[in-house]
Structure 1
Amino acid sequence: MLNMLLSQVLDLMTPVLLAAMAGALCERAGVFNIALEGKMLVGAFVAVATSVAFGSPVLAVLSAVLCTAVFASPLALGGARLGGDPIVIGIGLNLLAAGLTTYLLGAIFGVTGTLVDPAVTALPKFVIAGLADVPVVGAILGHNALVYLSWLLIFVFNIYLFRTPWGLRLRGIGEVPSAAAAMGANVSRYQTAIVILAGGLCGLAGAQLALGSVALFAENMTAGRGWIAVVAVMLGRAHPLGIALACLGFGLADAVGLRLQGQGLPNQITDIAPYAITLLAMIGLGLRGMKKRSV
């Protein structure tokens, strides 16, 4: 029972974690990225469409990364290079993603709502023989490559941001861009590259969402997970370890909600569990900010 719950938590938190890492990089670069939801949705659609066309999960993931990075270019160019408002651009990308994926679902596959195709290949899981039934360990070591990659990125980004000169330069660009420019850093170039890289990470998140635990695409299947990722960035203060803890909490709430649904609790109630946690976390974050200002 414990293994099953932990395994489900790790599966559910991975798309949010990958998207939140993308948001954290943008935050550190000085670009507030609220387009995580739309980019995840595009990544999920491209992953499923590529899997239907070629039957290769590897090619599906690579296509999702590439297409989502391209989809992020309006934010990279408009927000970083042309001085546009990243919030307005991000909202536009979210709306575009929702409409575009719904249109392409009907135009290409002739279906509405949900695409379930036998040709869609889920990401293979790597299970080490003899460890599957070991408490805790079996749940950790029975996942696909994107889950393992998300764990690795926590430590890679932590080292990059706080232990390398490139990370120091990136944080300097985000905190005091004028000073970074005076030191010779090309602020707009850095921000453009980071936003495009973040788009690729959202592609990974979308691929995990569509091909990880399930093998299908549904209209608006992100269901607010991109916004939860934005909140995770805020709760974790754009720190990889803090973000991981926040995403773990959201994954646990989602998994517990699904378990309660299996016990007969109405899905209308269980589905709101992660969003209720998000709302309470935001209220707590706001109250803490008010307390600090009063002091």
Structure 2
Amino acid sequence: MSLMSFITPSLVNSAVQSITPILLAALAGTLCGRVGVFNMAMEGQLLVGAFAAVVGSYATGSALGGVLFAIVFTVLFSLILAYGATVFKGDSVVICIGMNLLAAGLTAYLLRQMFGVSGTFSDPGIVGLTKIRIDAINTIPWIGWIFSRQTAITWLAWILTAAVTIMMFRTPLGLRLRGVGEDASAAGTMGIDVTRYRVLTVLFAGGLTGLGGAQLSLGTVSIFSEDMSAGRGWIAVVAVMLGRNHPLWAALACVLFGVADALSVRLQSQGLPNQLTDVVPYVVTLLALALSHRKRLKRRAAETITAHA
């Protein structure tokens, strides 16, 4: 099989869809990191968002209702981190691990209590997100197939990436947010309410992750499965680390992981066992972390040599 026959519009389309929830979670983690709150709860937030989206879509008969449910309930879920790590001065790592465990157990429990099923819930009453078809580019080979078959959340994710980048580095609000994260005491002496900025940022980030959860459960398939976030939140944490809390660099890392995710599905369709293909995104993640760490060590060694010269 040639490389060009392997790389198809369907593969690229699948990669773009796979990138979306990871990208939204990574944006959330980047915002939290900029205000000094280390967010490792994106895995649980994605899961809560995915479950709430299915509940909202099923209850209202509308995909928009599902998206709104996802945003609202993920923001409410994020109150745990917002107040636990700021007002109550708790350890954000411990809080986030607890949130991830809570999300996994709570969604599984509610799935049984609300719908009487375990594992997976699917129903004709669940309305999925509509794919946006753009007539102007729909007939263009490759481009039309890929970009006119995405949901509004996918388009919104990239718009938000640009908006967050501009806000962070080109506006007074972004300067204040960065100041809160870099030196909270100095920001406080300038009259900035550090706690308020952190709480609101974490809650806004929760809304972004809720959107990612809605994309997971309503974007490609209109179902909810237990633990359907499948490590995407942890991959988003790695993307934030690789991007060093910069939205654009984190987005590039998300592209890498999204392509790896789509590639694993493609390899499975070629007959490889799913036990092997499922590890592809995580192997890529570990390799990216290892290369980033090696590069950082080389930079530090060079700086040390320069300092002693």
Q: Hey, what's the Cα distance between the residues in 2 that align with 1:268 and 1:209?
A: 21
Matched, 1:105 2:111: yes
Matched, 1:119 2:125: yes
- 1:245 match: 252
Deviation per CA, 1:36-87, whole angstroms, max 9, x where unpaired? 0001100000100111111110011011100000000011011012211111
Runs of 4+ in 1 over 4 A off after TM superposition: none
- 1:285 match: 292
> Please, what TM-score do these two structures have when normalized by structure 1?
0.97
Deviation per CA, 1:147-200, whole angstroms, max 9, x where unpaired? 000010111001000000110110011011111111111111100000011111
Matched, 1:73 2:85: no
1:133 Cα deviation from its structure 2 partner: 4.0
8 Å contact kept, 2:131–2:148: no
1:88 Cα deviation from its structure 2 partner: 0.6
Structure 2 unaligned blocks of 5 or more: 1-6, 305-309
Q: Hey, what's the Cα distance between the residues in 2 that align with 1:81 and 1:205?
A: 27
Matched, 1:40 2:37: no
Q: Indicate the structure (1 or 2) with the bigger Cα radius of gyration.
A: 2
- 2:279 match: 272
Name which of 33, 37, 47 aligns with 1:27: 33
Q: Hey, what's the Cα distance between the residues in 2 that align with 1:157 and 1:2?
A: 32
Q: Hey, what's the Cα distance between the residues in 1 that align with 2:136 and 2:202?
A: 42
- 2:209 match: 202
Residue 150 of structure 2 aligns to a residue whose secondary structure is strand
Matched, 1:5 2:15: no
Q: Hey, what's the Cα distance between the residues in 2 that align with 1:10 and 1:128?
A: 16
1:99 Cα deviation from its structure 2 partner: 0.3
8 Å contact kept, 1:2–1:135: no
The correspondence of residues 91-240 of structure 1 with structure 2, limited to 5 A, is: 91-129=97-135, 131-138=137-144, 139-240=146-247
1:290 Cα deviation from its structure 2 partner: 2.7
Count of equivalent residues = 295
Q: Aligned-pair RMSD on alpha carbons?
A: 1.1
Q: Hey, what's the Cα distance between the residues in 2 that align with 1:265 and 1:61?
A: 35
Structure 1 unaligned blocks of 5 or more: none
Q: Hey, what's the Cα distance between the residues in 2 that align with 1:86 and 1:99?
A: 20
Q: Which deviates the most, 285-294 or 254-263?
A: 285-294
Distance 1:259 1:133, change over 3 A: farther
Distance 1:231 1:182, change over 3 A: same
- 2:66 match: 60
Q: Hey, what's the Cα distance between the residues in 2 that align with 1:212 and 1:26?
A: 26
1:2 Cα deviation from its structure 2 partner: 3.2
One-letter amino acid matched to 1:162: F
One-letter amino acid matched to 1:274: P
Residue 217 of structure 1 aligns to a residue whose secondary structure is strand
Q: Hey, what's the Cα distance between the residues in 2 that align with 1:268 and 1:132?
A: 36
Residue 86 of structure 2 aligns to a residue whose secondary structure is helix
Q: Hey, what's the Cα distance between the residues in 2 that align with 1:81 and 1:120?
A: 38
> Please, what TM-score do these two structures have when normalized by structure 2?
0.93
- 2:4 match: none
